[in-house]
Amino acid sequence: MLEPRLTGMNKHSDKALETLRQMNTSPSDWALTPIRWVEEMRDVPGFVTCPTCQGHRNVCLDAAGAVIPPPARPEYGQAGYWEARQASDAYEHAARRSGGIYGNCPGCYLKRDRYRTGTVKGTVRMKVKVGYPVWRDGVRFDSRFNSSGDCDLCAKGIKASGVVPVQAVGPDGRVHGMYVGEACGRKFLEVKLKRAKDAIIERAATP
């Protein structure tokens, strides 16, 4: 029977508790799954050079306000290098005068105070901490939301850096496993996970 320790029930709470009921478990049955941490190279969300201004934050605009594409910066030694270099430098100089200290590129990611960064959101390859949950033998991922790829408790979307692996042994001796969001872990199961910034929990099988 589920414990009456949760107050302020709402539709979200009802959904989560119904998931536990269908698995024949109570909130107190659940605990954080042990995790084996490994450093790996992964493609993760980050920032890449803005293709509009090529990282310079400023661009030249025509009379209608449209971006005039910057000339390609030449490779040293190629035919016409110095002429192309002069054209590229002239464009950058004119763009800086046009954009000023804040930048004027319409494609850049903006910080506060209208400051362009010369970057856009993209995928970067970098070394990150990857956590592989160490599940109990015979674990079953039998949440009604298990196949959604989101929180197994409430079906809300979660990022790889916010996944918490939990497991429980029900009164019938069956072992259950779930991947839940941090908010659900704290609110319903009293489970927290300390991790390095941007660390990833691997939802696939342990290698």
Q: What is the pLDDT of residues 123-158, one digit of tens each?
A: 999 999 999 999 999 999 999 998 778 999 999 998
Q: At which residue do the structure tokens 């993760």 appear?
A: 44
Give the Cα separation of 185 and 27 in Å (integer): 10
State the pairing for strand pair 175-181/35-49: unpaired
SS3 109: coil
Residue 113 has pLDDT above 80, yes or no: no
Write out pLDDT tens, residues 51-101.
999 898 999 999 898 999 988 777 888 888 999 889 989 999 999 998 888
Mean pLDDT of 38-58: 92
State the pairing for strand pair 175-181/67-68: unpaired
Measured CA angle at 121 (ends 120, 122), to 5 deg: 115
Domain assignments of the chain as residue spans, ordered by start:
11-44+125-201, 51-117
**Percent of the chain at pLDDT exceeding 70:** 92
CB atoms near residue 161 (< 10 Å): 17
DSSP string of 143-156? -TTGGGSS-TTT--
Give the Cα separation of 125 and 119 in Å (integer): 16
Write out pLDDT tens, residues 151-202.
999 999 988 778 999 999 999 999 999 999 999 999 999 999 988 888 999 9
- Cβ–Cβ under 8 Å, residues 54 and 119: no
Question: Which tokens in the block code for residue 196?
Answer: 């390095």
Backbone angles phi, psi at 36, to 5 degrees: -100, 115
- pTM of the predicted model as reported, rounded to 2 decimal places: 0.70
Q: What is the CA radius of gyration of the chain?
A: 26
